[in-house]
Amino acid sequence: MEKKEIDPNAAPISAKDLRMQMLQREMDEMDKERKLRSIEEQKLSKFTDEFLHDHVTPEEIAVVRRLVTNAVRDGKFEALVYSFPSDLCSDSGRAINSADKDWPQTLQGKAKEFFERYQQFGKPQGYKLKAMIINFPGGVPGDVGFFLNWAPDDTK
């Protein structure tokens, strides 16, 4: 590694130039953050569009089955099988958060379709489904989680 010789008689970089370098670094960082935010917003927009307009895919059904299989292998009677932003409920997740019995009516898009599939296929086979808010970023409901449960009923 070469050592740069410093001329002890040369004037140092000006304070103004140092401030400009710092300002440029801050502007570059803000630009980087803005680009990352834009990418995240595009991803969320794409997810929301697909969530609200596309149908549940065979791959998504396979993921649910794999999650249940893994939970059973681990000795569990419940698995988180699906999650989505609470903003995608018609009431932003309020009914789910307050355990309102009519929470299924607030579902939209793929969440509604997953619930309908549960009603058609899972419930008759003895499964139970519950929806819960699984995180609270900034103190507000974040994501909804669908939990599939196959525990035996209490007969006490």
- Mind listing the pLDDT tens digit for each residue in 11-65? 888 999 999 999 999 999 999 999 999 999 999 889 889 999 999 999 999 999 9
Q: Does an H or E element contain 67, and which?
A: helix 58-73
Asked whether residue 156 carries a pLDDT value surpassing 90, the answer given is no
Domain boundaries, the chain: 54-149
pTM of the predicted structure, to 2 decimals? 0.74
CA pair distance 62, 8, nearest whole angstrom: 70
Element (H, E) at 55: none
Give residue 9's pLDDT.
85
